[in-house]
A and B are shown apart, each in its own frame.
Chain A
Amino acid sequence: MTTTVGLVCKDGIVLATDHRATMGHLISDTDTKKVYQIDDFIGMTIAGSVGDAQKLVKILSIESHLYKIQREESITIKGATNLLANILNNNRLNPYSIQFIIGGMDKNGIHLYSLDALGGYLERKDFTSTGSGSPMAYSILESEYHADITLEKAIDLAIQAISIAQKRDSASGNGFEVVIINKDGYRKV
């Protein structure tokens, strides 16, 4: 059920995911999109139930767009995270089974958050990982990440973390997708 990572570097954010979707022991899809653009400078990864995730991605994209046209400025990363956390917590008795990473740039700088299914969210100043492959990804991130990492090095590290997880987690695999967000905007690598 997925490996996703998010890394903070000096001049931007890296988000990376694998491409596998599973139904029990079946690999049901081999080219699954798990990282989405929410706003010009905000990206989000999903891990868990695809139907739940796609609906919440849609809601958050629409809310960000509405925020921008009503207020003539972009929603902040914290604002988008808090909005999503409220939706998740409102459904805590019948929770969406997903974990998210939200990251990007706003007027306050570079920010990275991870959210759980009940709407708990934590800001990370370094890196975070979600999904069944996250224990393996964390082992690489913990040993290789350093605070002044460049965007190029962070992309390499993200790919390394995802591929290690794919070797030992049967629910992650089939290549990866990497996205960077820096002052030039949201870009697929």
Chain B
Amino acid sequence: MQNVPLQTGYDKSVVAFSPEGKIPQIEYAREAIKRGSTAIGIKTLDGIVILSTRQIPTKLIKAKSIEKIYQIDNHIIAATVGMTADGRALIEKARIEAQINRTIYDEPIGVETLTKKICDYIYLYTQSGGVRPFGTSLLIAGIENGKPRLFETDPSGAFFEYEAIGIGGLRQDIIDILEEKYNENLTIKSATKLGIEIFKSLNIKNIEIATLTLNNEYHKE
């Protein structure tokens, strides 16, 4: 227990700020994400690629049951890192929001609109008593008006848009490599290759790969 930071009383409730102006529970949620698996998302000319690590604790497990990449709607996919159960809850919320948009407007939801809806929901868990924030970060990728878009969410409810990004445990290592190797002329094929190379260079073997073309053709392996 010697690694546990000194409990000052400010980190017990989500609602309270610490004297440093931070909300410790959100910092801890980010810590949970840093200790979890990793995912990469890359925007390309002909669609989107998401790669995720798959940690196999024992060879007895059915590898396919460890799922980190999900389809939200025909035109949107998402990867989760951090706490798996929290991720699943957010994925379910995203799927429902996508269908709500279809019933209200008879149209597919925008990727940014969906990201905002999810972040509105995440944010609720930073304001009320008796709850904890989501220990999960999502990579939301999809096709909007014929173009790919890629977003990352944070346990605070903030979100950011990227051309290419890594989230989770090896986030910084992946960002360093992507900053060097990413360019706007990548295709799904070359971006998949790049993603696999990045994971290989970080000694990760088990990978889940999902692609989504501009025509909403989804493929996962």
Contact = CB atoms under 8 A, between A and B. Distances in A.
Interface string A73-86: 10110110011001
A98 to B, nearest CB: 20
A86 B103 contact: yes
A83 B105 CA distance: 6
Categorize the interface residue count of chain B: 10 to 19
Contacts of B104: 79, 82-83, 86
B110 A82 contact: no
A78 B112 CA distance: 20
B105 A71 contact: no
Interface of B: 103-107, 110, 112-113, 116, 145
Nearest to B107: A79
Contact of A107 (B113, B116, B145): B145
Contacts of A94: none
Contacts of B103: 86
A78 B113 contact: no
B92 to A, nearest CB: 23
A71 B110 CA distance: 8
B106 A78 contact: yes
Contacts of A71: 110, 112-113
Contacts, number: 26
Interface residues of A, number: 12
Nearest to A82: B106
Contacts of B105: 75-76, 78-79, 82-83
Contacts of A76: 105, 107
Interface in A57-74: 70-73
A159 B181 CA distance: 63
Contacts of A73: 110
11 contacts: A70-B113, A75-B105, A78-B105, A79-B104, A79-B105, A79-B106, A79-B107, A82-B107, A83-B104, A83-B105, A86-B103
Given A82-B107, A107-B145, 7 more contacts: A71-B110, A73-B110, A76-B107, A79-B104, A79-B105, A79-B106, A83-B105
Nearest to A71: B113
Contacts of A82: 104-107
Nearest to B105: A79
Contacts of A86: 103-104
Nearest to B106: A82
Contacts of A79: 104-107
Nearest to B112: A71
Interface in A103-123: 107
A100 to B, nearest CB: 16
Contacts of A70: 113, 116
A82 B101 CA distance: 11
Contacts of A83: 104-105
A78 B107 contact: yes
A72 B145 CA distance: 13
A79 B104 CA distance: 7
A83 B102 CA distance: 10
Contacts of A75: 105
Contacts of B113: 70-71
Contacts of B112: 71-72
Contacts of B106: 78-79, 82
Nearest to A76: B107
Nearest to B113: A71
A76 B107 CA distance: 9
Contacts of A78: 105-107
Contacts of A107: 145
Nearest to B144: A73
Contacts of B145: 107
A83 B104 CA distance: 5
